[in-house]
Chains A and B, each alone.
Chain A
């Protein structure tokens, strides 16, 4: 096996070196195998509409579109909770807030509002809610911060019922699909292929942006806050400011993700957007993939969604959830750093050994 990867590792490493020269400073250095994993996954994702029907799995288009949205949300959670160590258990409120903003605009203002209006306002709403939660609660630490954010989630969930005149209570609000034209070409999310790309492309763009942020000085400070907040303060850095920044950075992808999810389902309701379970799923994805790595949560989101929607279906409607939560529990106990981080480091070790041989 080592000779195989060795043979393969050579050319891969030289391509990777080309990448490292250009972008390594910004996004971090890769070895050949890690580079191959990234490019390979990217190709697989971009070409789903080609290979899925050939394998008789065209339903994957829907599953993976959903996974893309959740990947956005999981990354959004990660840049705040994963990086700073302030673990939020109420992040679904941010995406849910954005989704409800879209719903309220479409349902109560004008059903024909274009996305040029609803998208920015929804992101703004996520941002506002993020700040409302962040500013007071960031004084608290560890599980207490988690507790307050958890409670924030419960409050928003109940408010959708208390204000059911506007939110439609448990029925929610219909928001319809995304429908817009680019250069005379109509894009509608009723078409499974177009919908897939409408969800995938923002996910990839957000991933690149967040990776950039995470490797920048700001990202370094977030990590430093997680490792030793007192030391960071002692160095004369205003940690509160950076913690709030992390919420701001997190709110934007959460807002975009919430907006996409609203149009993916076509209806915004408490169950699919605000229930505590949604926040927990979000965290589970990030933790399963590997917290504070941006790429890990993407992997986690795809893994969890594919398991939930495709693989575990054999256990029946309820059994599926039992299996999913049990698997997540096992990862929590035995592989706390995340499965994709383990894979990444494994490839890292393998790749560098090969590099040495060459």
Chain B
């Protein structure tokens, strides 16, 4: 179920790469920003005056993460994106700075977010239990993905994003305003990260180190699915979900992360274009 949320993260990451050629290592930090924004506005324990309903919290989380993503692009990445390695390093440094700032602001102790939809469903005959929040996370993620799909295939604005990710030069020739498209992509990716942040923050934990695991996962999913491919990200998110469960079953919990990373390396080396991606290896 949580694979849908992972897909949400990976899609944002891959769109930014597709459109701008930027590997945004601060993507995990945007998830963290989403989770903490939700915490601040919904929980009475941070700012006593603010304890808004969780639905509004969700919207705030999306808005703040989207804004942060936009600012990150306009304020930093836009000026350095012509050098991919410096961008790689700079976005990573941004993530580290944000992580330390959250330690200062909220202490390093992890937090729990107020549950959007408490309760669970227990299917007796299959012995399966699912919490409501997992179901909602699944549904909302798919709605978001569906909306994005509609946007990039059915609307002119969205199509220009898709076109840019296929060929930057081609898109430019057809009169696409490139800087605007890139900024818009960062905005969407940020919104997705913020939404994912609320679910990750509730189902897992909200802490200043929560940025790294989702980021590593986004890497893996994106590379396996093919960098720049939205469809690939969704398929790979589910693939990795099953793979992790399988690893835990067969090898034990200690190898869970390692095995996915190994698969990533193998995919990179054997099939660098991923399942649905473009060729990007240069011999």
Q: Give the interface of A toward B (CB within 8 A).
A: 87, 89, 136-137, 139-144, 146-148, 151-152, 154-155, 158-159, 161-162, 276-277, 280, 283-284, 287, 318-319, 321-322, 325-326, 328-329, 332-333, 336
Contacts and interface: CB of A to CB of B under 8 A. Distances in A.
A158 B258 contact: yes
Given A139-B281, A142-B84, A144-B280, A332 B258 contact: no
B219 A147 contact: yes
Given A319-B104, A322-B97, A332 B90 contact: yes
Contacts of A284: 89, 93
Interface in B52-106: 76, 79-80, 83-86, 88-90, 92-94, 96-97, 100-101, 103-104
A151 B265 contact: yes
Contact of A318 (B88, B92, B103): B103
Given A142-B84, A329-B97, A287 B269 contact: no
B255 interface: yes
B8 interface: no
B281 A142 contact: no
B269 A328 contact: no
Interface string B270-283: 00100000001111
A66 B9 CA distance: 39
B203 interface: no
B94 A146 contact: no
A147 B223 contact: yes
B89 A325 contact: no
Given A144-B280, A151-B264, A326 B97 contact: yes
Nearest to B87: A143
Across the A-B interface, give the 4 residue pairs with the lowest CB-CB distance, nearest first: A162-B254, A143-B84, A158-B258, A325-B97
Contacts of A139: 269, 281, 283
Contacts of A336: 80, 83, 86
B100 A333 contact: no
Interface string B110-122: 0000000000000
B262 interface: yes
A299 to B, nearest CB: 18
Nearest to A321: B100
Contact of A87 (B79, B85, B104, B268): B85
Interface of B is mostly: helix
Contacts of B268: 137, 140, 144, 147-148
26 contacts: A136-B265, A136-B269, A137-B269, A140-B268, A140-B281, A144-B281, A148-B268, A151-B265, A154-B216, A158-B257, A276-B212, A277-B96, A280-B89, A280-B92, A287-B89, A322-B100, A322-B104, A325-B93, A328-B93, A329-B76, A329-B90, A329-B93, A332-B93, A333-B80, A336-B83, A336-B86
Contacts of A277: 96
Contact of A332 (B80, B84, B257): B80
Nearest to A229: B282
Contacts of A146: 85, 88
Contact of A143 (B85, B255, B265): B85
Nearest to B76: A333
Nearest to A85: B85
B185 to A, nearest CB: 17
Given A136-B265, A144-B281, A280-B92, 13 more contacts: A87-B85, A89-B88, A140-B268, A147-B23, A147-B219, A147-B223, A148-B265, A151-B261, A280-B96, A318-B103, A325-B93, A325-B96, A328-B93
Contact of B272 (A140, A280, A321, A329): A140
Nearest to A158: B258
Interface string B186-216: 0000000000000000000000000010001
Contacts of B258: 155, 158-159, 162
